[in-house]
Amino acid sequence: MLIRPANVADVPRVLPLVARICALHEQWDAERFKMIEHPERQYDGWLRKRAVDERSVFLIAEKDAAIVAYIVATVEPEIPIYLTPECGYIHDLWVDETYRNEGVGRQMTMLTIERFKAIGVSQVRLQTAAANDVSRKLFASCGFRVASIEMLART
């Protein structure tokens, strides 16, 4: 399995994976993750920018010329009351079901952490769906811990 930085030409091949992660989140909690129709279309331009942004991390994993996993993360500003002025933020990690439990997600996560460290970002954050026990276990194995819990109320 080859893990490499994504480029702009990879984006159309990543979009079907984006559609799958969005559908899964909506399946887990339709109230929290209700998506617009074809959310992957909105990702197109954003992912193209991530592919050329030196402060973003956008990696893909390929097997037999097919993209089977991706991770995308950005540097985000923190509000000025905190000593950490910015953090790395992992938005998405998707591994095709066929390739899960082979260490691909862990490798991609660790490469993302290393990249942020290399550019001087000292903290990496992410959120997982409440139903996503598997991802929490994966991220814990990469050094993440629960730091906050998001709650939702209807208005």
Domain boundaries, the chain: 2-141
Per-residue pLDDT of 108-148, as tens digits, reads 999 999 999 999 999 999 999 999 999 999 999 999 999 99
Q: Is 55 exposed, middle or buried (0-12, 13-18, 19+ CB in 10 A)?
A: middle
Mean local confidence (pLDDT), 65-71: 96
How much is the pTM? 0.94
The pLDDT value given to residue 35: 87
CATH architecture of 2-141: 3-Layer(aba) Sandwich (3.40)
Contact 61, 2 (CB under 8 A): yes
Counts for the chain of helices (H) and strands (E), in that order = 4, 5
Beta-bridge mates of residue 60: 4, 70
Torsion sign across C-alpha atoms 40, 43, 48, 52: negative
Per-residue pLDDT of 96-118, as tens digits, reads 999 999 999 999 999 999 999 99
pLDDT at 44 over 90: yes
DSSP-derived letter for residue 142 is T
Question: E strand or H helix at 47, and its extent?
Answer: helix 39-52
Q: Is 69 exposed, middle or buried (0-12, 13-18, 19+ CB in 10 A)?
A: buried
Take residue 57 and report the two structure tokens written for it: 């991390």
Torsion sign across C-alpha atoms 37, 38, 41, 46: positive
Give ∠ CA 57-61-62 in degrees, rounded to 5: 140
16 to each of 13, 19, 21, 135, 149, how far by Cα in Å? 7, 5, 9, 20, 29
